[in-house]
Chains A and B, each alone.
Chain A
Amino acid sequence: MSERRYPVAIEVNGVRREGTATARTSLVDFLREELRLTGTHVGCEHGICGACSILLDGDPVRSCLIFAVQADGHRVTTVEGLARPDGSLSVLQDSFCEAHGLQCGYCTPGMLIAAHALLARNARPSEDEIRDAIGGNLCRCTGYQQIVDAVKLAAGRLNGDGAK
């Protein structure tokens, strides 16, 4: 018996996308395998590592803990949606490059989503607030310090402090 598939229509990065998924397909698997948006990474698949973080209706959530069928009718932003329309990197993404906020890159999409969500509601976060915002995202390369530096750098630039 083949497993039942459910229709799924999601607005992803501003574009309405449709497909079908079995009930047990996680949102991250749907994004990657059905919609071919492979920027969002799959890590632990049980809500520990934060690599799969996306914005659901504007709020950061773990896309491995939501079934695709649950996201039907909702709005999703993935890391692909953070870049500028011409494909060039956002201020936050540039800051990650410059401050060495990534090494292997596995946690980076989740870190970017978490940091983006923080800066969207708090333009001048303290270091503690930055650490709290990325507290649900594991990185095994950087020791986190450069990620914190990158978010600080981006916040400063977005506030018009210094160059750029």
Chain B
Amino acid sequence: MKPAPFEYVRARSLPEACALLAGHGAEAKLIAGGQSLVPMMAMRLVRPAVLVDINDVDALRYLAVEPAQVRIGAGTRQAALAADDRLAAAVPLIRAALRWVGHAQTRNRGTIGGSLVHADPSAELPLAAVLLDATLCLHAQGAPVREHSARTFFTGPMSTGIAPQECLAELRFPRWPGPRTGCAFEEVSIRHGDFALVAACAQVRLDGSGRCLQAALAIGGAAPVPLDLSAAAGRLAGSDLRDDDIAQAAAEALRHLDPPSDLHASAGYRRHLAGVLAGRVLTQARDRALGRPGAADRAGGTERP
């Protein structure tokens, strides 16, 4: 479990990191938190010739809460985001997702940008980015900043639309307006902190009378990429989000799934989980939007799954 030899360079700024990537081409790899990259290097699934360390690039660590969106520097640690109350108020889904990400030791080191570019199909932060249709800002030397929708960024397991010379610098998460917005994130894994067998998240927005204005649903672990199922959930708009409306939307979402079978779970079991979790996150999101105590609050608190 030792990585193959490589050269190490520390970048002090984003332009320097981009210049190093441009100079070394596909032989180079960026390292931020390293919580996914280093295990892959240890197993020699990845063998970069040059490792460009961007941990000293302070300009990649920030959080800007704006009226319509939240901008997050890609190098911001997961633990810092989980602890940030401004972020939890503006885009609560991110804290809800982070509850399921790894362990304290990995969240202290792991970054939000690293999780997105690693693109594990069952990972939580990519799923949240897909649900909210976050925008990814990709920098490269001598090129204008490229903005990429999270919904088209993921192309397969551990595969994304990022080019070898590009560095993910910023993530922009849109804020849904209004006080009657609720979200939820749930998953089933063999142990807490393990990769999800299936993960699901939802966000809904209601009007003053409790009617649904907007609904989004995404499911991870059930396909090679995190799946946006907002087309199925979008049918909930105009409904009162009764339990049977939600059950119908969850059933509709399942029609778009063709989950894989592996050592850990059969396709049938994953399908079953996807249906249960889709219904559960939509119900919890509704209850939170309505300000109802109960199941939603318990799931959103510190109680362990």
Interface residues of A (CB under 8 A from B): 3-4, 6, 22-24, 26, 44-47, 50, 53, 56, 59-62, 64-67, 69-70, 114, 117, 128-129, 131-133, 135-136
Which residue of chain B has the shortest Cβ distance to A126 in the bound complex?
B302
Identify which of B43, B53, B104, B302 gathers the most chain A CB atoms within 10 Å of its CB. B104
Q: How far is the CB of B101 from chain A (nearest CB, A)?
A: 11
How many A-B contacts if CB must be within 8 Å?
90
**A136 near B105 (CB under 8 angstroms)?**
yes
- B window 46-103: CB within 8 A of A: 51, 53, 55, 79, 102-103
In Å, the complex CA distance between A163 and B1 comes to 46
Which residue of chain B has the shortest Cβ distance to A65 in the bound complex?
B38
Contacts of A50 in B (CB 8 A): 103, 105
Identify which of A6, A26, A62 gathers the most chain B CB atoms within 10 Å of its CB. A62
Q: Is B264 an interface residue (CB 8 A)?
A: no
In Å, the complex CA distance between A24 and B29 comes to 14
Q: Is B39 an interface residue (CB 8 A)?
A: yes
Identify which of B43, B79, B103 gathers the most chain A CB atoms within 10 Å of its CB. B103
Q: Is B109 an interface residue (CB 8 A)?
A: yes
**B5 near A136 (CB under 8 angstroms)?**
no
Interface residues of B (CB under 8 A from A): 1-8, 31, 34-35, 38-39, 41-43, 51, 53, 55, 79, 102-106, 108-109, 192-193, 302-304
**A136 near B193 (CB under 8 angstroms)?**
yes
In Å, the complex CA distance between A45 and B103 comes to 16
**A24 near B5 (CB under 8 angstroms)?**
yes
Contacts of A60 in B (CB 8 A): 104-105, 108
Q: How far is the CB of B253 from chain A (nearest CB, A)?
A: 30
In Å, the complex CA distance between A26 and B34 comes to 12
In Å, the complex CA distance between A3 and B6 comes to 9
Contacts of A65 in B (CB 8 A): 34-35, 38-39, 106, 109
Contacts of B38 in A (CB 8 A): 26, 46-47, 64-67
Known: A4-B7, A24-B5, A128-B303. A61 touches B53 (CB 8 A): no
**A136 near B102 (CB under 8 angstroms)?**
yes
Which residue of chain A has the shortest Cβ distance to B108 in the bound complex?
A59
Which residue of chain A has the shortest Cβ distance to B53 in the bound complex?
A70
Known: A70-B55, A131-B304, A135-B193. A22 touches B104 (CB 8 A): no
In Å, the complex CA distance between A60 and B77 comes to 13
In Å, the complex CA distance between A158 and B60 comes to 38
A-B contact pairs, 18 of them (CB 8 A): A4-B7, A23-B7, A24-B2, A24-B4, A24-B41, A45-B42, A47-B35, A47-B106, A50-B103, A56-B108, A59-B79, A61-B108, A70-B8, A70-B34, A128-B303, A135-B104, A135-B192, A136-B104
Known: A136-B105, A136-B106. A66 touches B3 (CB 8 A): no
Q: How far is the CB of A126 from chain B (nearest CB, A)?
A: 8
Q: How far is the CB of A114 from chain B (nearest CB, A)?
A: 7
Which residue of chain B has the shortest Cβ distance to A132 in the bound complex?
B304
**CB < 8 Å: which of B6, B53, B79 contacts A24?**
B6
**B105 near A128 (CB under 8 angstroms)?**
no
**A45 near B6 (CB under 8 angstroms)?**
no
In Å, the complex CA distance between A129 and B104 comes to 11
**B109 near A23 (CB under 8 angstroms)?**
no
Shortest 10 CB-CB distances between A and B: which pairs? A136-B103, A45-B1, A23-B8, A46-B39, A59-B108, A65-B38, A24-B3, A46-B42, A136-B105, A61-B109
**CB < 8 Å: which of B5, B8, B55 contacts A6?**
B8
In Å, the complex CA distance between A3 and B193 comes to 36
